[in-house]
A and B are shown apart, each in its own frame.
Chain A
Amino acid sequence: MLRLEKLVKTYKTGDQALKAVDLVVPEGQVLALIGPSGAGKSTLIRCINRLVEPTSGKVFLGDINLTGLSTGALRRERRRMGMIFQEYALIERLTVMENVLSGRLGYVGFWRSFLRRFPQKDVDEAFRLLDRVGLAHMADKRADELSGGQRQRVGICRALIQDPALLLVDEPTASLDPKTSRQIMRLICELCNERGLAAIINIHDVALAQMFVQRVIGLRFGVVEFDGLPDALTPDVLTTIYGEEDWEATIEKVDDDSEVAQ
């Protein structure tokens, strides 16, 4: 469903963030992208929806090559890719509802969005999504009144209301506490399951990634060093991705049942 072919990104400074990355993501697959800081994880995700312009290579979403699109056509394709951000990237001074509805901007005209007169079915869907993540009662609160975990859930709603085929998730748990991190990861993976969405999740926390995803990609200096099942992440593999370190504690199986009860 998503196919990257020889994707290269060289920044103006000369840093080569991505060196000919090839990657195929089938429909409905949730994969984690791990790797040290500066490995090109964020760049990879942003090259897919062209928030960062790739230097060369191709990105196919379905049959459409995103790298060749004009501005208008790119905008229409962006609607099919929901994005979730590290620091939530909610519009702090707008209400929760406005933030969720902003995911529909690609579908509604300027005046409707300017006057906040979104189609009834968008509003209904926004309430349903907020209810799904347990925030329906917060709809009229300002986004900056929410806690970190709540904000990220609004971020998830904003991405989902786009009705995307693919989720691009950039460090969703980096600023959250361990428990909230798990809840958010679980929520993202559950929602992907429910809706048959594919997702690429950048994540620093290897154990958390192993717990929830079906496939792991290890990136180091812009090159794919590992591609396989979460269970195949051995200390040796982590050493090739991150460098020498004692990995036993990191990949220890975490008992997930204790928390489900809460």
Chain B
Amino acid sequence: MEKEFQKSSIKSRTSWAAAILLACIATITAVLPFIFMVFNSFKGKFEMLTKGVFAPPEKLNFANYEEVLSGGFVKYFGNSVFVLCLSLLLVLFIAACAAYPLARFRFRMNGFLYGVIVACMAIPIHITLIPVFQMTKSLKIYDTIWAMIGPNVAFALPISVFILTSFMMGIPKEIEESAEIDGCNKYRMFFTMILPLAKPGLSTLAIYNGVNIWNEFSFAYTLTQSPKNRTLPLAVWDFQGQYSMNTPMIMAVLTLTVLPMILLFIFAQDKLVKGMTAGAVKG
């Protein structure tokens, strides 16, 4: 009996050892490229080649960062903030408007319209790229920051409506009924009751869509041309043209573009993790 117990505890000890070894490998794999980026961003152009890529920088040398920040990076950042804020406001408001009747009204087309919106989640953006490109040209907003707003909003809407509809279905019906007895119509109900109650769902969606819009590449790349109208994901692209042989400089640009996410991760980890996986709803 005791022998058997010992055997099983040895067995579980070895399997734990194996698991911890694998966990260490996973940790190194996940972190090493990141360390490569941050360490090298502080190095001089030649320091990296002579000292080896894994060596920590000799000193915290902010020269690369200064050069990047004075080289137009702030403009990209500002554009990104503008596109993000405007797109996000539109997405959240329009999605909330759509989710309200879909979740709480009874009308004939309800199921069908919901299905049409949800089906849009699987549509690849590339089928819309050429027509949207032509549209932006004929609307004379090609190569302006306005060009990205429409596509950003359109491709964020389906999943937002999907998540908000199921969220709003969870709000108790009694609230609406008592308000209706008090003579509150559907429009006032939306603004005074439903919208405030949907706040938790909206904040999760704000993070999910916010991260996606912040990182959006394809439309920004196709619909803009000049650096002064481009967003952050393209900053790396444009800087690479300028500094292609200067790896530490590119690493500094990359670190700066990731910085907002790192800060968000440090200060609001749970919300960020929850928001970023909001898209992974059970099918």
Partners in one complex: no
Q: Give me the interface of B with A, judged by CB distance under 8 Å.
A: none
